[in-house]
Amino acid sequence: MAELLVNEPDNEPMAEREFWLGDCFIQPQLNRISRGTESFQIEPKIMRVLLCLAGRAGQLVTRDQLLSAVWGDVFVSEQVLSRSISELRKVLADDARSQTVIETIPKTGYRLIAAIQTKPPQTDTTPEDISVPVAPSTNDSLPAPAEPLSAFVSAIAARPGAPLQGRGVLALALLLCAAAILLAVWLWLRPAKSLPDTTMRLSLELSEAIPPELDLFQTFRLSPDGRRLVHVGRREGRYQLFMRTLDQLESTPIPGTEGGVGPFFSPDGQWLGFFAAGVLKKVALSGGAPTLIGGPADDPLGASWGEDGQIVFVRRYFDGLFRIPATGGKAQAITSLDWQRGERSHFWPEVLPGNEAVLFTIWHGGGSGDADIAAVSLKTGEKKTLITGATRARYLSSGHLLYASRGSLRLVPFDVRRLAIQGQPTILLEKVAVSQISGAAHFDCTQTGLLLYLPQQARQTDRRLIWVDRQGQTTAITEKAQHYWTPRLAPDGERLAFGLLNEGSDLWSYELAAGAFKRLTFAGTSLAPLWTLDGRRVIYTSDQNGSPLNLYWKAADGSDNGERLTQSNNIQFPGSVTPDGNTLIFWEVDSATRCDVWRLDLRAPAAERNPQPLLRTDADEAQPVLSPDGRWLAYTVKDTGQWQVFVQSFPDLHGKWQISTEGGIEPVWARSGRELFYRAGDKILSVAIDSSAGFKASSPRVVVAGQSRLETVTLLPTFDVSSDGQRFVLIKSEQEQSPTRLNIVVNWSSELQQ
């Protein structure tokens, strides 16, 4: 940019001074253009295009020169530049036909033809009539808003002749609080010559709530310059990405990101990557349709866009990290799971400066404390554990790691070249929301000192087991609130098995009549229980012997230590047992073939048990469950980006019927065999089954909606059906409100020097 300067005597770069183009007032440091009484906030890259043209006012600036000066080595199409010029024309009121401000030189470039002035144009109005946005002095100290606001509200309320009571005072208070937030953010975002030396803490209200079931994943991100926030919301029943600049009050949907989750920015902040329909996509924030990067990318468990144009991302649970070009291509593995050391998944990657190493989280299968922060060299593939009992690290240019541990955000000095911790951690913030399952720590930060986080109370983890009938009436099963998951009723309907997630995950049973709890497992991670048909044993997924998450079974009364049923490096989950009790149908996650359905002969001696594939295709097949008479196998399939429920005859697998119509997972048969339930989002749907002559299924109908916490983003059990088919076991959160408030810490990095 050195050559793109206005030739002024003091040679001050255009990027650091304000100027006029006709009646338009240009404020480069604020990325703002004002015209009359209107003020327009434009993208930083668009402002840089204007500054490049202004730096050579009256001269031709070619397209190649603009692309090189504004976007550098990042490849963008000429369409992006054309859209930037079009946006400038709109803001500058420059008609594309008359071209009084920016002249287009066909097939070559552009020329700024409007005169640049350092003073406002002369008009017939008096100086008092002219409204010019002027930034406050850079020497002003940041205000402490709470006390002045309260005093101001009190003064207004007490002023004679202007009584404000009740709603009036409240409305004014809310307005002033909003104004204080905007002022603080504006003061922070302005490129002042001296940064404030105090830390400010504020709250940011979202106009679109974050879906609470997405607490397993990252749901919001700040742009690298800290000016924009992208977050997940819901629109017309689907996930949607929304964006707002931090000096605005409303979020607006980003076109083309319907169904999108897990957002992440490109290093220059001009592109947004996201997960949708089982793949990675990207969209230019200057406009245009999203484009495919590649996949598969089923679970949005983290992605990081490096300066070298490579994206490191997580494909799914129970997998390592992969790298793919941002321009698209084939994904290549960069980490693999070490099962012998208890690694169950790699999450939350962050590419370090220099693009030679990546920070990530090793999940061991338990709660958020059952995870470690590690680094991997992209040159050698060597992995190195950095911090135990921690999750989701971010590297700061100050030479620190910011990470989550035990509900707090912590800082520790870090040598990025040696990939080594250099000192003791300090606690920066308490009570930050962290998922107990995936270790997703709900915060983001910029290198400029802006920190955004979701407070812990907005992510309530305590839950209760409840009954919900077909009329929507609820009855508590347990009085004690804990982190229950994967509930399963015994065949007699008198006992309930479930996982209990704390620092790890153990299995428990509960006698419904007596109200008595019994712990079933005591080592490692155990989840996803399945009762044998006689109710004497529980089959489950566990790593209790230091193995991968394989299949075990044990006596339901807890009288033995459990027996391992399978030997595999793949994660496996029980599905169903045949009516004769001889065969187990289960599903597993394979790194090559993804989700497949298998069968296991339970009668064979342990040394001779040899699972056989039942459904193993290019698509994902999971969650197999047999009808009570053993004639029909229901399962879920994902081959077009959406899970659907299907039924085939068993054991010959003749015929294939699609049950769900708009997506569905987790099929559960009624004990009668005449009804099949499944879930879609927060709804449980029912299909009537007639198998008297072949197989017939009715259209789905909703039987339960919005009554519980249904984990819409996992394939683990979330509900079960009573013996009479009239009630459903569900999990109810103590606080199931959708988060709408994020906390902002402005200039938090100043505390590093304290």
Residue whose token pair is 């077909």: 470
In a domain, 187, yes or no: no
> Is the pLDDT score of 539 beyond 60?
yes
Q: What is the pLDDT of residue 380?
A: 93
Range of the domain at 161: 146-182
Both 262 and 398 in a single domain?
A: yes
Mean pLDDT calculated for residue range 581-610: 90
Both 555 and 503 in a single domain?
A: yes
Both 254 and 371 in a single domain?
A: yes
In a domain, 247, yes or no: yes
Bridging pattern class, strands 408-415 and 102-105: unpaired
Mean pLDDT calculated for residue range 623-637: 97
Q: What is the pLDDT of residue 165?
A: 43
Residue 638 CB neighbours (<10 A): 20
Both 345 and 443 in a single domain?
A: yes
Both 467 and 442 in a single domain?
A: no
Q: What is the pLDDT of residue 586?
A: 98
CA distance 206 to 451: 16
Residues 6 or more apart in contact with residue 285 via CB below 8 angstroms = 43, 228, 243, 254, 269, 270, 271, 272
Helical H runs in 642-723? none
Domain with 124 in it: what CATH number? 1.10.10.10
Domain with 515 in it: what CATH number? 2.120.10.30
pLDDT digits (tens, 9 = 90+) for 723-752: 999 999 998 876 555 667 889 888 776 655
Work out the angle between the directed axes of helices 44-55 and 78-92 (0-180°, nearest 10). 80
Both 289 and 367 in a single domain?
A: yes
In a domain, 87, yes or no: yes
Both 435 and 477 in a single domain?
A: no
> Is the pLDDT score of 535 beyond 90?
yes
> Is the pLDDT score of 491 beyond 90?
yes
Of the ranges 358-367, 400-409, 718-727, which one carries the lowest mean pLDDT score? 358-367
In a domain, 355, yes or no: yes
pLDDT category, 4, cuts 50, 70, 90? very low
Contact 280, 294 (CB under 8 A): yes
Q: What is the pLDDT of residue 292?
A: 95
Mean pLDDT calculated for residue range 214-225: 88
In a domain, 687, yes or no: yes
Between 560 and 183, the higher pLDDT residue: 560
Both 65 and 161 in a single domain?
A: no
pLDDT digits (tens, 9 = 90+) for 63-76: 888 888 887 766 55
Residues 6 or more apart in contact with residue 335 via CB below 8 angstroms = 320, 321, 346, 360, 376, 381, 383
Q: What is the pLDDT of residue 246?
A: 79
Q: Report percent pLDDT > 70 for the chain.
A: 82
Phi, psi of 242 (to 5 degrees): -120, 155
Cα–Cα distances (Å) from 56 to 111, 112, 625, 637, in that order, read: 8, 8, 70, 59
Q: Report percent pLDDT > 90 for the chain.
A: 48
What is the number of residues in the chain?
Answer: 754
In a domain, 8, yes or no: no
Mean pLDDT calculated for residue range 585-595: 85
In a domain, 419, yes or no: yes
Of the ranges 7-16, 134-143, 236-245, 419-428, which one carries the lowest mean pLDDT score? 134-143
> Is the pLDDT score of 240 beyond 90?
yes
> Is the pLDDT score of 566 beyond 50?
yes
Q: Residue 72: is it exposed, middle or buried by C-beta count within 10 angstroms (0-12/13-18/19+)?
A: exposed
Phi, psi of 148 (to 5 degrees): -60, -40
pLDDT digits (tens, 9 = 90+) for 8-54: 333 345 666 889 998 899 988 878 898 887 878 787 888 889 999 99
Residue whose token pair is 């490109």: 266
Both 91 and 70 in a single domain?
A: yes
Q: What is the pLDDT of residue 6?
A: 33
Both 544 and 677 in a single domain?
A: yes
Q: What is the pLDDT of residue 431?
A: 87
What order do you get walking across the sheet with 116-117 strand by strand?
Answer: 38-41, 32-35, 24-27, 19-21, 116-117
- Per the structure, the count of domains in the chain is 4
Both 345 and 427 in a single domain?
A: yes
Q: Look at residues 129, 154, 173 and tell me which one is the last residue of a structural domain.
A: 129
Q: What is the pLDDT of residue 29?
A: 82
Between 549 and 172, the higher pLDDT residue: 549
Q: What is the pLDDT of residue 40?
A: 82
Mean pLDDT calculated for residue range 458-485: 82
Both 415 and 478 in a single domain?
A: no
pLDDT digits (tens, 9 = 90+) for 323-373: 999 999 999 999 998 877 878 889 999 999 999 999 999 988 766 677 999
Residue 338 CB neighbours (<10 A): 11
pTM exceeds 0.75, yes or no? no
pLDDT category, 703, cuts 50, 70, 90? very high
Contact 651, 682 (CB under 8 A): no
pLDDT digits (tens, 9 = 90+) for 296-323: 898 899 999 999 999 999 998 888 999 9
Mean pLDDT calculated for residue range 182-189: 52
Beta bridge mates, 500: 484, 506
> Is the pLDDT score of 555 beyond 70?
yes
> Is the pLDDT score of 194 beyond 80?
no
Average model confidence (pLDDT) across the chain: 82
In a domain, 39, yes or no: yes
Say which DSSP state 528 is in: E
Between 296 and 621, the higher pLDDT residue: 621
Q: What is the pLDDT of residue 645?
A: 97
